[in-house]
Amino acid sequence: MKRRFWFGKAVMILVFCTAFVMLFSYIVMRLWNGILPDVLGVKLISFWQAMGILVLSKILFSGFGGFAHKKEQFKNRFRQRMREKWENMTPEEKQKFKEEWKDRCKGWGSRFSERNFPTHEHNEQGENK
């Protein structure tokens, strides 16, 4: 019973996705053929050319994977939370945090310099971040 359910669900998803792509290709074809020949003087396109334009625009404007932008959003959210935590730390907590990470990341050069982790005392003296 479960196998039949999942098979049926997969078939329905495939059918609906195919129908959506075909409908959207038809809409692109009709809009292209109804507007662009008169405005820009381009040729009429077929259904398959409209589908090709959709695929090409997907590749050019949003890429293949949907995870890349989500990964970037996660990194930005993580950075923002860490920045907020850093700003709310006392100077002693900041120093302890830096020392812990220096021990964890030995050999990574000067990533943990004062320039990368400014404290409020340095900002008040007019030094750059």
More confident residue, 62 or 91: 91
Contact between 48 and 54 under an 8 Å Cβ cutoff? The reply is: no
pLDDT tens-digit map of 76-91: 888 888 888 889 999 9
Give residue for tokens 């982790």: 117
- In this prediction, residues 104-114 reach a mean pLDDT of 63
User: Does the pLDDT value for residue 112 go beyond 60?
Assistant: no
pLDDT band, residue 8 (cuts 50/70/90): confident
On whether the pTM is more than 0.95, the answer is no
Residue-level pLDDT at 129: 45
Coil/strand/helix, residue 81: helix
